[in-house]
Structure 1
Amino acid sequence: MCREVWSALSMFRDAEEVFRMRAAVLADPFPTVTLSTATIDAARLLVRDHVTRLIVVDAAQRPMTMLEGTRLLHNAVPTSGRDDSVRARMVEEPAASIFPRDVAEGTVNDVLPSPMPDLPVVGVDASLLEAAAAMAECGIPLVAVVSTNDALVGAITVDAVLDRLLSA
């Protein structure tokens, strides 16, 4: 997989130099939640930070998984609406605009699928190539960057990788 990522990105000039950059330098702060975070707070965080997913961390700030914004929608839309698009069109807008009480009062743990989705993780000393390969392998446009004690330092997004490559 790494070889495929490298060959696909080698068209960018100076890509080799960019790929020597370390994850610690490239990682940006990224919004996090815990399993006990209220889903309504997670939804507000997604909106506030203009992201489509959140990193779920444990009490020691170690990344565990991620919460996709679509999981909140999945649990907010009644089963009848998910299973039948015609029935979903018939729901009146005022009723559809109310965030369901059981979702609003739930926690991140309540809406995560089982098993929890994999989150690609690299150490602070990982290269940009390693981060890009982890994203490509998992099919997730985000990689968590952790310190030597596995605590979250930040994240590298596919946008950040491409930005570095295109500006090289």
Structure 2
Amino acid sequence: MNARSDDDFDPRFDPAFQRGFDGASASDAPRVVQRDARRASPVHPPEPSATQPYVSAPAIKLPPTRSDAADSEPADAAALDDRPRPNPFLIALSVVSVALVAAGVWGIQAARAPFLATDAASTVDYVGLQILQFLSPVSIALGVATAIGILFVYAVGWQKRR
């Protein structure tokens, strides 16, 4: 290990924050070198590059835009256009939500069906029943959670419009 005396301080750092500092005067501290603004090199903005002069093209007649055509339509049709279009992803999620709940209910009914018969000689696939008994409630829970998420998105959108 390197032997170091207590008077040796790292010149990069303030001695007050180094081990062995006994509160000596600030004159012992290394002086901070301040830059002289007069010695700094002046900063010149970059010179603009030579560019070709801009030549404007003649005006082109464009077909009327939708706002021009909307003036000729009746007021009822214009009111219908102001409605926001439904989000296709939310519609797809709604379909998935309903399908998950329906599949879960079907799975519960399918898992119960072999045990509703009165005959004792039924052949039952117990692995398939275990899978249905596990996945059916999960499917219902995911469908309900998806529906709640969709309602949340609609509620946030409704709140922003108000």
Could you say which TM-score interval applies, normalised by the shorter chain?
Answer: under 0.3
User: Greater share of strand residues, 1 or 2?
Assistant: 1
TM (norm. structure 1) is 0.20
User: Greater share of helix residues, 1 or 2?
Assistant: 2
Highest Rg: 1 or 2?
A: 2
Structure with larger RCO (C-alpha < 8 A, sep 6+): 1
TM (norm. structure 2) is 0.21
